[in-house]
Structure 1
């Protein structure tokens, strides 16, 4: 049997290729934004427990669970991003980071709303955690 083309070999990923890709990760603005958003979400999630409008007060168990969850997500990105980059699929890895940046952004906005920081009505009406709070977060007569 004769092949018309040679099959492409599977990519060989060695520790050195992974390490080089991991070094590039530090310079990736999406990854830097991803880490920054995680830190801001952790901070606002912790601080919201000190405000009157919070459903839950500061709780070490909840804080530990959040810290573990964020660490696992960041760890997955740190380990698998260089691997996917070695396969030549860095754009998909960036898409993964953008997705989580958006999710953490929503969480940050929810935390700010729970703290009582005025947010536009179009925003609070579209976020379930804030829409269910009714008038407790934003004044109905506000210009936002």
Structure 2
């Protein structure tokens, strides 16, 4: 008798992905943009460290921990929207826009370390998304 483990694998991965999507408030264009910028920021950070000859596994791990903390902020914002009854997900959207701005600025800084020239309007847009950094808690 042949056992099929595909059903178990599909159940585990499907359940895991569904749980993550629920916690993050669903998978929409804003979340996808955030994840893309997050991955690009991490990759360009590693590339800049290689370029500067300052590669450190400790720094890379610290960067991954920061990315995980950002996801926890999205989860908290989503839960706040649920508690407050915000059907429009206002807090989640605001948090994602702030994090996209932060990741975009970091990406531009990494590209600058790689000697890549960028138009000023691009950095201005990310700064606009991030708002004034001094208004937020570090």
The alignment's TM-score, normalised by the length of structure 1, stands at 0.60
The CA deviation string for residues 42-85 of structure 1, in whole angstroms up to 9 with x for no partner, is 1111111121xx3x6111111111111111111231x2243123
SS in 2 for 1:27: coil
The 1:91/1:33 distance shift into structure 2, 3 A limit, reads same
Per the alignment, residue 108 of structure 1 pairs with: 107
Deviation at 1:24, TM superposition (A): 7.8
SS in 1 for 2:115: coil
Per the alignment, residue 57 of structure 1 pairs with: 54
Structure 1 unpaired stretches of 5+ = 1-18, 125-144
**How far apart in 2 are the matches of 1:66 and 1:24?**
20
Per the alignment, residue 128 of structure 1 pairs with: none
**How far apart in 2 are the matches of 1:107 and 1:29?**
21
Contact 2:78 2:91 in 1 (8 A): no
Per the alignment, residue 78 of structure 2 pairs with: 82
1:1-144 residue pairs with structure 2 within 5 A? 22=22, 25-51=25-51, 54=52, 57-77=54-74, 79-86=75-82, 87-89=84-86, 90-120=89-119
Contact 2:77 2:91 in 1 (8 A): no
Please identify the structure whose Cα radius of gyration is greater: 1
**May I ask how many residue pairs the two structures share in their alignment?**
101
The 1:23/1:103 distance shift into structure 2, 3 A limit, reads closer
